[in-house]
Amino acid sequence: MSALLGPAEIRALASELGVRPTKSRGQNFLHDANTIRRIVRTADLEPGERVLEIGPGLGSLTLGLLEQGHPVVAVEIDPALARALPITVDARLPQADLTVIESDALAVTELPSPEPTALVANLPYNVAVPVLLHLLTAFPALRTALVLVQAEVADRLAAPPGSKVYGVPSAKAAWFGDVSRAGAVGPAVFWPVPNVDSGLVRLVRRDPPATAATRQEVFAVIDAAFAQRRKMLRSALAPWAGSSAAAEAALTAAGVAPTARGETLDVAAFARIAAARPRV
């Protein structure tokens, strides 16, 4: 018998806990067993690999991971859900290895040892990109990530340079690894049913571009380049560099045409520009 939660069980559990999904926390609970198994399979985890899950909610994906023998460290901001999750898991998988941390994912800077090496999560819609970037920054042990987000966000995260939706999320995610779309998920598998489609995004960690600049310095260039994405970089980067002339000098030194636009550059080019910034 499967340990996973179905639609009726999700609603019954929420009612028992007095939980109502809220838009402010981006809560949409998965309740389809086939989708959960597909997510776990797509995550391509090593046998017994320790997983970080953000926003476990009522425990659908948590149970799917635990059922396949993966220890889970789950970070949940909602106190009622954080308290209930171990009880739900114990009733269905008594010997499962679960650790629950009651916290805002954006505030987590430490995890119990051994640190998880994979992130698998149905991320809250309203903070998906900041949470993903924070976790990749804070926990370099994460070798892979598979996250379920709004389809539009998934497209942006995985967009290549030159794409219409390539922007800040795309470039910053590419700093950490190779990003790709890993499948579509329709709204019917969630409760409540969202009014948008969702998508899976997979990231495989690799070393960032070789550069003398720090990650923060590179990200500052990315932010400046896309703050006025219609402008040529010599103009868009003028506030960052101190003047249009200084921006043009940095771009030329980095081997980037001053007339280029940010949407055409990959993360390695942004790293070269950051390293070429005039030092005062």
Contacts of 239 (CB under 8 A, 6+ apart): 224
Flag whether 163 is in a domain. Answer: yes
Backbone angles phi, psi at 128, to 5 degrees: -60, -50
Flag whether 280 is in a domain. Answer: no
Question: Which is nearest to 106 in space by CA: 78, 83, 71, 77?
Answer: 77
Question: Which is nearest to 202 in space by CA: 61, 43, 93, 87?
Answer: 43
Strands 29-30 and 190-191: what pairing? antiparallel
Mark which of 187, 205, 223 sits at the end of a domain.
Answer: 205
Domain identity same for 100 and 239: no
Looking at residue 221, its pLDDT comes to 98
Name the 3-class secondary structure at 121: strand
Domain identity same for 103 and 136: yes
Question: CA 222 to CA 206: how far, in whole Å?
Answer: 19
Domain identity same for 97 and 185: yes
Instruction: Please give the torsion angle defined by the CA atoms of residues 215, 220, 221 and 224, in that order, rounded to the nearest 10 degrees.
Output: 160
| Number of domains the chain contains | 2
Domain extent at residue 115: 7-205
Question: CA 256 to CA 41: how far, in whole Å?
Answer: 41
Give the CATH number, domain containing residue 136.
Answer: 3.40.50.150
Domain identity same for 94 and 179: yes
Flag whether 210 is in a domain. Answer: no
Mark which of 186, 205, 224 sits at the end of a domain.
Answer: 205
Domain identity same for 41 and 146: yes
Mark which of 171, 205, 239 sits at the end of a domain.
Answer: 205
Domain identity same for 169 and 229: no
Domain identity same for 201 and 224: no
* pTM (2 d.p.): 0.93
Looking at residue 85, its pLDDT comes to 96
Domain identity same for 17 and 129: yes
Q: Classify the C-alpha dihedral 90-12-101-179 as positive or negative.
A: positive
Looking at residue 5, its pLDDT comes to 83
Full pLDDT tens readout for the chain, 280 residues: 578 888 888 888 888 888 776 665 556 888 899 999 999 999 999 999 999 999 999 999 999 999 999 999 999 999 999 999 999 999 999 999 999 999 999 999 999 999 999 999 999 888 999 999 999 999 999 999 999 999 999 999 999 999 999 999 999 999 999 999 999 999 999 888 888 899 999 999 999 999 999 999 999 999 999 998 889 999 999 999 999 999 999 999 999 999 999 999 999 999 999 999 876 5
Half-sphere exposure of 90 (CA within 13 A, CB side): 7
Contacts of 45 (CB under 8 A, 6+ apart): 51, 68, 70, 118, 120, 144
Flag whether 17 is in a domain. Answer: yes
Domain identity same for 191 and 262: no
Contact indicator for 151, 198 with CB cutoff of 8 Å: yes
Q: Count of CB atoms within 10 A of residue 246's CB?
A: 17
Give the CATH number, domain containing residue 248.
Answer: 1.10.8.100
DSSP string, 153-217: HHHHHHPPTTSTT-SHHHHHHHHHEEEEEEEEE-GGGEESPPSS-EEEEEEEE-PPPP-SS-HHH
Flag whether 2 is in a domain. Answer: no
Q: Could you give the angle at the alpha carbon of 130 between the alpha carbons of 125 and 136, nearest 5°? A: 115
